[in-house]
Structure 1
Amino acid sequence: MLTIYTKPKGCFGCTKTKQLFTAAGVPFHEVDITTNEEAFLYVTEELGYSQAPVVVFDKDGTENHWSGLNPGKIDQVIAIVTSGN
């Protein structure tokens, strides 16, 4: 499962991250941290991030996450999802 925690207004990294996953045909769940307090607390308090987007990729019980626009990590997730591994 892929979840992208975003700020919808004025967040270039959020928009670009979503565009890259969409272009690759990788489905994701988007959560707006400006309207969802529980999600905001999760990314700031539990994960320790202060920059959107925060991407959380969970596969086979292993969670990988990062903050900000990170094309290298996005490519890794796309490769995993599209290869079926």
Structure 2
Amino acid sequence: MTKRYLTEHNVDFEEHNINEQPQYVDYLKKRGFMAVPVVDVDGKQAFSGFRPDQLQSIAG
């Protein structure tokens, strides 16, 4: 749902799929995340899960 929201609101993003790029699992765990998706935007606090309120602030 997060990916769909970003796409529908024309927000460019880079996707890292942990099934295809397992090295990101350790990266996310080190940052304290235990669930995906994780949204990490420069200048904002990263968050996990489908968070329409946070996504809206990114989409503007």
Q: TM-score, normalised by structure 2?
A: 0.88
Q: 1:35 offset after TM fit, Å?
A: 2.5
Secondary structure of 2:16's counterpart equals strand
Q: 1:39 offset after TM fit, Å?
A: 1.1
> Counterpart of 2:47?
66
> Counterpart of 1:8?
none
Give the number of the structure whose residues are more often strand, by fraction. 1
Please list, as runs of the form range in 1=range in 2, the aligned pairs for 1:19-34 lying within 5 A after superposition.
19-34=4-19
Q: Residue 16 of structure 2 aligns to which amino acid in structure 1?
A: V
Q: Paired residues, what number?
A: 60
Which segments of structure 1 move beyond 2 Å, counting only runs of 4 or more? Answer: none
Provide structure 2 residue ranges, at least 5 long, that are not aligned to the other structure.
none
Question: Deviation string for 1:3-54 (max 9, x for gaps)?
Answer: xxxxxxxxxxxxx101111011111011011222321111111x11111101
Aligned-residue RMSD, C-alpha: 1.1
Question: Who wins on radius of gyration, i.e. which is larger?
Answer: 1
> Greater CA deviation, 36-45 or 17-26?
36-45
Q: 1:55 offset after TM fit, Å?
A: 0.6
